[in-house]
Each structure stands twice: as C-alpha cells, then as structure tokens.
Amino acid sequence: MIDLHSHTNESDGTFTPFELVELAVARGVEALAISDHDTFAGYDQALPLAQSRGLDLVCGIELSTRSPGTKGRAVHLLAYFLRQPPPAEFRAWLDELIAGRRDRNQRLVASLREKGVEIELGEVERLGRTLTGRPHFARVLIDKGYAANYDDAFRRYLGETAPTFVERYAPDVPVAIQRVRDAGGLPVLAHPIRLGMGDVIEETFIRELRDAGLRGIEVFHSDHRPADMERYAGIARKYNLLVTGGSDFHGDIKPQILLGTGFRGNLNIPITVLNDMRAGS
C-alpha cells in the first residue's frame, strides 16, 4: 500500500512531518509522498527520519494553478520529483508564489476587518508556519467564535462566494506544467473530480493539459467513487497518461480521511503504481 498525496502542518495539514512519517510506518504504508501546497518544507524536514525508518519518501508538491483566462477555475497540479531533487530555480519560483499568497493574506485581513472581524495576520501566520492559507484563517475564525466550523467559515468569510473573499495570484496551469517539466518533475492533475466539469468537457480539458505537457492523472483519491476511478483510468489509458493516487490526508481537519486507505477504506494503492511512475518519468 502506498500514498502519494498527503499534507503536513507546513501547509494545511495538522501533523508535523515527523508525526506523518511515524503514522505512515505504523499504518504499513510502503511509500509516502508529502505533497504540501506550494512548499517542500515538510518533505525536507521528514526525509532524514523517513530514511532512518526505512520509509520510501517521495518528493512531491501540490501547486495551486488556474485554467487559462482572467477568471479561470482553480486547478491543483501535483508534481513529483522521482529522479532528482527540485533545483534551486524551481524553489525560487515557489518563493514567488508564497510571496503572492502573503499579499493575498494581507488583503484578506483588511477585508475581514472591514466587516467587523477582529483578526491580525500574525495570529494566522503562527498557525500557517511556512505557508499560510485559508484553512488557517478558518481555524482563527472558529477559535474566536466568528464561525461554527470550517464549512461555516468558508461559507461566510473565505469561500469564493463569500462577501469578504479575496482573490490571489495563481499561475496558469500550462505555465506550471512547463515549470515542473523544466525542473525535471512529473506533472500530474490532482483529484480531477473537483474540476466540476461534465464528462465531455472534463476529458477535453485533460487532453488539452496532456498536449501542454501533463504526464499523469490522479486516478485514486478519497473523493473518487469506484465509477470515477474507472473513468479516470480509462482517460489515462486513452491519452497515455501515468496513473497516480493518494488519500489527500490532512489530519484532524479531515478526520474521515485516513492515511493510505482514504475515505472509508476506498483506497489500497499498490506499489506498482509508483514503480510505473518511476519507469515512465
């Protein structure tokens, strides 16, 4: 059993990198990818412990991108570095993305304060560590009594339809795909079910991403029903894309998602998936 999609508290998870490694070992996960949002901080910290514990730790990342256009939909792109570490140039580009995220966070604080929410960026960043995002804002809003739970926080303040929502810069997905490939990485479309497209439009979009350099598709995911996995596996075969998969483990904020086995045991991803990725990278 492997899990190629997980998050630590260096992005929006709740487990430290060390806790995540120990959990993977305890749950019998053979290979684990830490794929924090826009940062390698969790992977970098976890690697020495993983090596000492005999865990095959895969270098991954989840990039926040958008489909081309001024109001493009959000697209999450996984990238795996299976043959060599990400180069300095790629890490420098990530620093630019994180700077853009902090600019959005400052504007989001101002927007919330205009609506009477007493919040400071510093208290949110203490939770966010390397990368501060909307889930960390949600935790502060819940702790201060402005929201009942995460869903309520996003509905009232943080979601795209909320009155205090603030947009942030994200690169177009073809640009991010090329950045990953130039850095020696393997770009993969994450949880395609979340695109919210009809089957025909979805397949056309995936084909266009393949033409732009996409190398794989996350077939196995906690959000995917068996029929979804079958459909995405078919698309992968049709367009010669590699198959990947993972639980998208976040820890306590998504307690129904378990490392390795996903939502209600809907995952059991074999090591052959990773072997095929390495052979095809």
With a pLDDT cut of 70, the percent of the chain lying above it is 98
**What's the confidence (pLDDT) of residue 102?**
87
For 182-189, what is the mean pLDDT?
A: 98
pLDDT tens-digit readout, 12-23: 899 999 999 999
Distances (CA, A) of 89 to 86, 99, 170, 244: 8, 16, 18, 26
pLDDT tens-digit readout, 46-76: 999 999 999 999 999 999 999 886 566 889 9
CATH superfamily for domain 2-87+169-280: Metal-dependent hydrolases (3.20.20.140)
Domain at 95-158, CATH from 2.40.160.20, 1.10.150.650, 3.40.640.10, 3.40.50.300: 1.10.150.650
Domain range list for the chain: 2-87+169-280, 95-158
Cα–Cα dist 77/259, whole Å: 20
